[in-house]
Amino acid sequence: MRMTPITLKKNQYALRAVFELAKRRGKGPTKISDIADAQSIPVRFLEVILNKLKGSGMIDAKRGFYGGYYLTRAPKQIRVADIMNFMQAPPKQEMCAACLAKSKCPYGHRCAFSAMWNRVNRAVLQVYNETTIQDLLDNDRQLQGKHRSPRKRHFKTQQGRSL
């Protein structure tokens, strides 16, 4: 059962790039090409994306020999929503906030569907809002089996609250 593309590739790339920067936090700036390699993203495309993302203030760049990109905030302070919202193209013309139609629909907010679209909207945003980059890092560590400490862990599966 397939879903309509909730995620543009551009957005996915942006998210993965930030994720990668988070992984390497504290080790100085990371070159675009390194991020691209690590996350299998076309370099040229990533240039564009990272450059745009810089405008959000959550990452910054340094040029020259030891240059590269780096996070400006702790991974815990960056929510997936921050990235997703920022990456969205600024709405060109007025659009229908309720039903997500590209142009303002004739029915306005009085259409029978708006309540449902709003619920969908909220549901998605909620997930984005409550997920931080730190959460993703934690997830990653767990999946890679790189436990910080071999301390006993009662199973926390995906179902149970791992994210």
Return residues touching its own copies (CB under 8 A). Answer: 1-9, 11-12, 15-16, 19, 40, 80, 84-85, 88-89, 91, 95, 99-102, 106, 110-113, 115-121, 123-128, 131, 135-137, 139-140, 143, 158, 162-163
Task: Report which DSSP code applies to 5.
Answer: -
- Tell whether residue 62 is a contact of DNA (CB under 7 A): yes
Under the criterion CB under 7 A, does residue 89 sit at the interface with DNA? yes
Contact 96, 152 (CB under 8 A): no
Q: Give whichever of 61 and 111 is closer to DNA, judged by the CB atom.
A: 61
Shortest CB 47 distance to DNA, Å: 4
Which C-beta is closer to its own copies: that of 40 or that of 149? 40
**How would DSSP label each residue in 149-161?**
S--------TTTT
**Nearest C-alpha neighbor of 68 from the set 36, 113, 114, 106:** 36
Burial of 40 (0-12, 13-18, 19+ CB in 10 A): exposed
Q: Is 91 in the site for DNA (CB under 7 A)?
A: no
**Phi first, then psi: what are they for 62, rounded to 5°?**
-130, 135
Q: How many residues belong to the chain?
A: 163
Q: Does 85 bind DNA (CB under 7 A)?
A: no
The beta strand positions in the chain, using DSSP E, are: 59-62, 68-71
- Identify the residue among 6, 28, 37, 51 touching DNA (CB under 7 A): 51
- Candidate residues 48, 120, 127, 163; the one interacting with DNA per rule CB under 7 A: 48
Separation between Cα atoms, residue 128 and residue 87, nearest integer Å: 13
Under the binding rule (CB under 7 A), the answer on residue 28 touching DNA is no
Chain residues binding DNA by CB under 7 A are 4-5, 8-10, 13, 29-33, 42-45, 47-48, 50-51, 54, 61-69, 89, 92, 102
